[in-house]
Structures are given as structure tokens and as C-alpha cells.
Amino acid sequence: MEDSLSIRLEPSDAESLPLGRLLQLAERRLLEGKVLDRASRSKLYGGRWRRLDVRPERVRDLAQLQALPYTDANHWLAAQGSGSIARFVAERARLWVSSRSNARKWVPIGEADLRRMMGLALRLSAMIGLGPSERILAITEPAPRIGNCVPYFWVMADMVAGGLHLEMIPGSVTMLGRNNWPEFAAGRRPQVLWGHIDDVQALADTLCAAGKDPAALYPDLRVLLCFGAPLEPKRVDLHRLFGTNPISCYLSAELPYLQAECAPGAGIHLWLDVTIPEIIPTSELCKEREVPGYVPKALFITDAPDGVAGEYVVTTFGQSLPLIRYRSGDRIQLVSKGTCACGRTHPRVQVLGRITDGSSMQLMIRMDP
């Protein structure tokens, strides 16, 4: 039995393993971790797989994963909304968070999931080069969003296994103007500002309206870490306002793994040791839209050509509710599968936005190479 305070630390050399080794690791985790067996206990997958005569036990390697159907937000909402919520979770939840979108998807997070999130928070600390006793100003989101709790897990992970003695100063947009947290945080001279991009912008707007210069208020800031939406077209403005070039972080209730850029504009490293990412190219998405009943084909991100854009599809080895070929609704573009300048071998992507409706599909066609 695991120690109650142990954190799931991924292998320290996993960040720079050759791609082939990473794929072997992912395949082993998928199969030996009995992820599909666990997933089939949730009504999100089980009933639908049986109706479609899908046999997860026949999946013997990574390639065969693609024989399983996609899962999307509609499946999620239907499964969550019908009957007992106990049959929605694959294994017991210790924490529930909800998606940011209007149609609320509730996400169960189990103990092993929390340990993994905390381990990946430590990986993020290392990736952004945090040093001993550095300080993070975190703009938390209101509960039940994932951005409500991540900063606390981050600092607890450091406390238990990170050893940097990080200091976390939480603030929230709700308390802007009702509490002096921006000024208090300034007194602690944070090196990192973390938050949803809209909240980071709201902080800047509030400070500017009060005649304060964000860059002057936080002179030691060197990492501006934004999640929730693409940095473009706000990147230049945020850089000017805070005096540091922002970096992008991928964080959602469904995928709370704090995947981030190692440097501004480098692209978000998708962790191949904890996820199996795929991409449905734009051409396939267009065909799906035009041909009723057409099921678009996805490529493993490691098989996709650099530069390809499309929908991010992800499989995780989660405990309480693994994601199995989950269509995120996010548009990404593969920056590169090549080894990054930072030495990490995990592919890098940019997030381009959401796939929401026909108009964004038009935009997609116009924008994509």
C-alpha cells in the first residue's frame, strides 16, 4: 500500500527519453495498468462499448487503441446525467471539479490521480526553473473549477517531495477591489504569476485603472504562466504589461496535468509518459462536418507531420475516470516532434482555440496551412 503522503513522481529521466521508449512506456502503462478494464466500469464507456460490440480486452498494443470509439463532451454529459453517479466513476473519487464551459462536466479525481497531478506540478516547477524559496502569485478560479485547487496541490507537492520551499500567494478576481491581495503580493516580490489568461488580464486592467504599472509592481516576475485560452492575440500586450513574455499552460478539469511550454513560444510539451495524445487533422474534421455519419480518423501525435492542425484527442491512465480517446474540443497545432532546445523529447503543440460551431470551423479552414 502506498504511503498516504507519497506523490506519484514520474521517472526522472522520462522527460528526455527517446520517442520510441516513451511509446513503449505508454503502452505498458495502458496495458499493465488495466486502464481499459477500469474505464469499462464507468458508464461513460462500458455501456456504449458493449452496444458497439467493442472489446477493450482485445486491445493488445498501442495501435489497437484506435479501434476504440472516441468519447466526447456529449457522451460525458449523457452518462453523468443518467442514473447513479456512482456508476459514472471507475474508481472512488476524492475530489470533484467541474469544467469551465456552460454545460458542466463534473470530473472525479481519485487518490492516484491527485498524486499524479502533484508529481506533474513538481515537474512544472523544474521546467520553469523555480529556485529555492521562490514565490508564486496564483490567481485562483472560483470553485468548482480546477484552477481553484491546483495552486494548493502545487505547494503541498513541493512541501512533501519538491524541497524548494515555495511560497504561494493566492488571489482571485472575485476579491479584486475588495481585498488588497495584489498589493500584498507585490510586497512578497513573486517570481511567478499563474492564472487563467482572462484573470491575468483582469488583474492588469484593475491595476492600470488604478494608475499602477503591473511590471513595476512585480519587478522580479520572470514567469507569467497562463492557462485557459490561447495566448494569441494577447501575448504582446501581456508581455508589455508585466514585462515578461508569457508562457502557455494546458489545464482543464478533464486533463489537470499542468502541461506547459518550457519557454515562451516553444510550444506546450505533451507528456507522453502520462497521456497518449492524438490529433484529428482539420481535413478530417471538415469531412465529418460535410458527410453525415463519417467518423474522422485521428493520428497519434507521434505519427503526425509537424505543422498539422486539428482536434486534440487524449487518452490518460487515470484512476477515477480515465480519458479514453477523449475529444477535447480544443484545436491544436503540432509545433514539432523533434527534441526541444530544452532537451525534452515530448512533442510540442500550440493551442489554437476551441472547436465550437460552424463559424469556428470556417475560421479553421482559413487559418490552417
Choice between 171 and 267, CB closer to Zn ion: 267
Task: Give min distance, CB of 128 to Zn ion, in A.
Answer: 11
Q: CB within 8 A of 125, min separation 6: which ones?
A: 154, 158, 162, 164, 166
CA 348 centroid distance within chain: 13
Task: Give min distance, CB of 263 to Zn ion, in A.
Answer: 6
For every residue of 202-238, DSSP letters joined together read HHHHHHHHTT--HHHHSTT--EEEEESS--TTTHHHH
Task: Give min distance, CB of 150 to Zn ion, in A.
Answer: 21
Cell of 241: 504589461
Closest CA to 109 of 1, 260, 259, 255: 255
Assess contact for 30 and 325: CB atoms under 8 A: no
Task: Give min distance, CB of 231 to Zn ion, in A.
Answer: 16
Query: Interface with Zn ion by CB under 5 A: which residues?
Result: 262, 340, 342, 344
Task: Give min distance, CB of 342 to Zn ion, in A.
Answer: 3
Task: Give min distance, CB of 340 to Zn ion, in A.
Answer: 3
Choice between 307 and 338, CB closer to Zn ion: 338
304-307 LR contacts (CB < 8 Å, sep 24+): 304/279, 304/334, 304/337, 305/334, 306/334, 306/335, 306/336, 306/337, 306/338, 307/333, 307/334, 307/369
- Cα–Cα distance, 272 to 257 (Å, whole number): 12
Assess contact for 70 and 326: CB atoms under 8 A: yes
Helix H, strand E, coil C: the string for 72-131 is: CHHHHHHHHHCCCHHHCCCCCCCEEEECCCCCCCEEEECHHHHHHHHHHHHHHHHHCCCC
Choice between 8 and 348, CB closer to Zn ion: 348
Choice between 97 and 130, CB closer to Zn ion: 130
Choice between 15 and 113, CB closer to Zn ion: 15
Choice between 47 and 264, CB closer to Zn ion: 264
- Cα–Cα distance, 142 to 195 (Å, whole number): 12
Task: Give min distance, CB of 15 to Zn ion, in A.
Answer: 9
Choice between 139 and 226, CB closer to Zn ion: 226
Choice between 9 and 342, CB closer to Zn ion: 342
Task: Give min distance, CB of 261 to Zn ion, in A.
Answer: 7
Cell of 24: 513503449
